[in-house]
Amino acid sequence: MMTVLRLIYRRVPGLLTVVPLIGLWEIAGRSGLFFVLPPFSDILAEAWKLIVSGRIAEHAGGTFRSLSIGLAISVVAGLTLGVAMGRSRLMEQVFGIYVDVLMSAPVSAIVPILVLIFGTGRESIIAAVVLFSFFVVVVNTYTGVREVNEELIEMARSFGCSEVMLLRRVIMPGALPLTLTGLRLGIGRSFNGAVFGEMIISVVGLGGLLLTFGSRFQFAQLYALVIFIIALAVIAMMLFERLERRLLSGRFAPAYDDQ
């Protein structure tokens, strides 16, 4: 908890810029001119009710399971493919076109294919998470590997480094900044994928709850849930950013022994 509070404290200048927007939101909501925009205080009250009643916890379990599994697949497969494409011209030529096409393709056009392959169960939601987060991990890892100083690679080879040792000692440490950026972006996009999948493919979890509130015109509850999901995603990315800074500062420097 203290870690989260310290991270929020570091963002105080940025958070302060939100205060005027919240004030304008409250005034607009109180004016009654926009029926789709309830006062921000009402939204906070509904958010508290949703948390205390356990309704969010009831729906969040399935969402986080799909998100965790999909993100794990994206990280492992994305790092593997990104490194392979960065180190092999053949792998880049074979898979590069598919990465470019699928990364730029509209997700809504791919969802029917996911449903045909995986059905309307949790597997399709996991696939949607992978679809959102996998490619950003691949592209950032690939870019990081390609931008490693070629002179360092040649120097390591001159000392007889094998490809595995080269990856451990030169390439992955050199590609670490962009790789970590890809992972952080993948975390944020995984929340989008999980909620999107639940709303479009199978009406369950937090995505299903969003659809329920929207269909019933319960705008205060709808916005409260949206803010809750955004807050979770931001906190997750902030925590990973803290880990990212520690890794890049050398506190967990890669081992250079031959064990």
Q: Fill in the DSSP letter of residue 253.
A: P
Q: Which residue has the higher pLDDT, 200 or 134?
A: 134
Residue 172: per-residue pLDDT: 84
Q: Fill in the DSSP letter of residue 149.
A: -
Q: Tell me how far CA of residue 163 lies from CA of 124, 170, 244, in angstroms.
A: 37, 10, 26
Instruction: State mean pLDDT over 213-223.
Output: 89
Q: Is the pLDDT of residue 5 over 60?
A: no
The pTM is what?
0.81
Closest of 189, 179, 190, 188 to residue 238, by C-alpha: 188
Residue 109: per-residue pLDDT: 78
Residue 198: per-residue pLDDT: 87
Residue 149: per-residue pLDDT: 79
Q: Is the pLDDT of residue 107 over 50?
A: yes
Residue 75: per-residue pLDDT: 94
**Helix, strand, coil tally for the chain in percent (to 5):** 85, 0, 15
Instruction: State mean pLDDT over 1-20.
Output: 60
Delimit the domains of the chain by residue range: 37-248
DSSP string, 180-191: HHHHHHHHHHHH
Instruction: Please name the residues in contact with 204: beta carbons below 8 A apart, sequence gap of 6 or more.
Output: 59, 62, 125, 198
Instruction: Please name the residues in contact with 73: beta carbons below 8 A apart, sequence gap of 6 or more.
Output: 126, 130, 134
Beta strands in the chain (DSSP E): none
Q: Which residue has the higher pLDDT, 218 or 14?
A: 218
Top mean-pLDDT range of 28-32, 114-118, 225-229: 225-229
Residue 256: per-residue pLDDT: 40
Q: How confident is the model at residue 190 (pLDDT cuts 50, 70, 90)?
A: very high
Closest of 180, 181, 172 to residue 153, by C-alpha: 172
Beta strands in 58-161 (DSSP E): none
- For the domain 37-248, what is the CATH code? 1.10.3720.10
Q: How confident is the model at residue 11 (pLDDT cuts 50, 70, 90)?
A: low
Interval 35-94: pLDDT, tens: 788 888 888 998 898 888 888 888 888 889 999 999 999 999 999 999 999 888 899 888
